[in-house]
Amino acid sequence: MLAYQSTLELLNDKHRFPVVWVSPHQKRTKELQAIWKNLRRQIERNRKNKFTPEMHFFTCGEEPEYLLG
């Protein structure tokens, strides 16, 4: 999680595209959402990075509607 936070800090305002996470099982999707929620809180507290990317989480098979919509 810390490595991902470091990567986000490097990107800062340069990366403005949504990030799509697709996992094979609903349990893993929920885990990823929880990890992101905690990481986002850390980022907001730290505020080195003024931009927080838009994240979308899907279980395999749910993402085509979003991607094609």
Query: Residue 61 gets which letter from DSSP?
Result: T
- CA 21, 35, 16, 8 dihedral sign is negative
pLDDT, position 26: 97
Amino acid at 62: E
Chain mean position to CA 50? 15
Task: Flag the least confident range among 48-52, 54-58, 63-67.
Answer: 48-52
Lookup: tokens for 26: 């609903």
pTM as predicted: 0.76
- Tens of pLDDT, residues 16-55: 788 899 999 999 999 999 999 998 888 778 766 566 788 9
Helix (H, G, I), strand (E, B) or coil at 42: helix
Opening angle at CA 7, ends 47 and 37, nearest 5:
60
**Domain limits, the chain:** 2-7+14-68
